[in-house]
Amino acid sequence: MRLSSEVVVVKPFTNQWSEEDIILITYGDSIIKADQPPLQTLKHFLDTTIENTINSVHILPFFPYSSDDGFAVIDYSSVNESLGTWQDIEDISKDYHLMSDLVINHCSSRSAWFDNFVKGEGQGSDYFFTALPDDNLTDVVRPRTSPLLKEVETGNGKKFVWCTFSHDQVDFDFRNPEVLAAFTSIIRQYLDIGVKIFRLDAIAFLWKVTGTTCINLPETHEVVRLLRTLIESAEPQAIIITETNIPNTQNLTYFGNANEAHGIYNFSLPPLLLNTLLTGNCLYLKRWLMSMPPSQDGTLYFNFIASHDGIGLRPAEGLLSENELDTLVHTVENFGGKISWRTSDTGEQKAYEMNISLYDAMQGTVDGKDQWNFERFICAHAIMFALEGIPGIYIHSLLGTQNDYQKLANTHHNRSINRRRWQENALEEALANKSLHHARVLSTLKSLLNTRIKQPAFHPNATQFTLHLGLQLFGFWRQSQDRKQSIFCVSNVSDQPITLPLSELNLIITESWFELISKKEITELTQKILLTPYQTVWISNVIT
């Protein structure tokens, strides 16, 4: 993902990314300052506080919207004037790889397109998917409990529009090629303004056929392949990442044969990693990692453990037992989190996602709160930063933001608990206050990232093997693509000190070995290292 104005022809199966690529996930107004457009405030934060640590930024929907904090788009071609202008977006794209949402499954019921649908004339009048209440909809899979169909009086009579998420988010009908044509124009505009990474929001629900599950249909995969072809032909260095909060095996299908998404969200990582650190047992995380196929050249995993949404539980289905899931949900509730629900295919109410700031989710274990909040939180990131793929770090994790109960009370939406808006002066005061954890979190995570981006063995496509070190030590081995660097990544995932015998690792005796995080040389390969609770080591034969 090079920043360049040159025309470059990229061959298929080419890795356009490296160990230097880190993506910050943020709203355009996560940090605000009086009398300054938030996008300019964000740019200042990136240029000063982040400095040269993070080279990419995912600005969550920055368009005019009516609900869902941006994901009910009113106008795809405009910047929300409360955030700034297209010039502000372009200024960021000149210095950072810019990732933007393509909210392609639905738009706002207040959009001009839907207004025309209601009128029964003009662009948009035939853009939306409709069904009848007596159609066979029993197998439809969706992440909400609200009624699927919304009754609307239109110029063409009564219609029932399809609403996968909410009645303010009306689903498009991609059977109409004009809808696809409209989105190709939108993509072209975003490319021209400097977008290089497209996040295909809720793409799994794109195509609907009554009488089916209406998720992951073959036509949806065909649309992803087509969009990739169109985007690559227009801008060879641009890439697609699919957002599919679904069970792991289904999620993996969006790679296709390395001809669909360049990247997929590694949705199973957040619940499995949280479960590991709250139980002190890495069994499920280790089993999952062992089963994951390496990403082919030209594809990547997008790793994250916190985002603007909650910690999804569907990607843990089949990976964690029902008892494990129940314990995880109850523990998060005890730490002040909220639970969002969905209706299963049997009509049962099931936990869909856990809404909590990641820092607060790490307050303790399944046995209750303890003194290891900071260490557990850092351990989670040290594991994520080292895994195969590109790391995405949520701005509120980078800052150690805690649950925002005031915003939750104002909006009555569970996801608001982890979507704080920092006043810039309040943030600066928090980062300057040594008695608070925010500065320590920021400096520690930046230090880990600054170490990561120098290691060829942390290339997103570098070799990875899972280590077998028991249930309290979670470890894996990375090797650079030129085979010159090896890194053994081991974390104590428990609240007790654990001894790591170096003899359990394949540390070749003719090499010199270093611990990258502490920057200490290892002089005796038969020694044992005592790992304090939640300590991580990165043991490398190359120091950079």
Residue 201 assigned to a binding site: yes
Torsion angle defined by CA atoms of residues 286, 464, 517 and 356, in that order, rounded to the nearest 10 degrees: -50
Residue 91 assigned to a binding site: no
Identify the structural domains of the chain with CATH numbers, from first to last.
Answer: 112-170 (3.90.400.10)
Residue 142 assigned to a binding site: no
Task: Region of 253 please: left (phi>0), alpha (psi -120 to 50) or beta.
Answer: alpha
**Is 268:284 a contact under the CB 8 Å cutoff?**
no
- Provide the residue-wise pLDDT of the chain in tens; the chain has 544 residues: 544 445 555 566 788 899 999 999 999 999 999 999 999 999 999 999 998 999 999 999 999 999 999 999 999 999 999 999 999 999 999 999 999 999 999 999 999 999 999 999 999 999 999 999 999 999 999 988 899 999 999 999 999 999 999 999 999 999 999 999 999 999 999 999 999 999 999 999 999 999 999 999 999 999 999 999 999 999 999 999 999 988 999 999 999 999 999 999 999 999 999 999 999 999 999 999 999 999 999 999 999 999 999 999 999 999 999 999 999 999 999 999 999 988 776 777 889 999 999 999 999 999 999 999 999 999 999 999 999 999 999 999 999 999 999 999 999 999 999 999 999 999 999 999 999 999 999 999 999 999 999 999 999 999 999 999 999 999 999 999 999 999 999 999 999 999 999 999 989 999 999 999 999 999 898 889 999 999 999 999 998 8
Residue 376 assigned to a binding site: no
Q: Comparing C-alpha atoms, which of 65, 82, 143, 73 is closest to residue 309?
A: 143
Active-site positions read 201
- SS3 state at 328: helix
Model pTM above 0.85? yes
Helix axes 438-452, 373-386, angle to 10 degrees: 20
Dump the DSSP string for 126-187.
T-B-B--TTS--TT---S--S-SEEEEEETTEEEEEE-SSBTTEEEB-TTSHHHHHHHHHHH
Q: How many Å is the Cα radius of gyration of the chain?
A: 23
* Count of other CB atoms within 10 angstroms of residue 347: 7
**Is 59:98 a contact under the CB 8 Å cutoff?**
yes
Residue 106 assigned to a binding site: yes
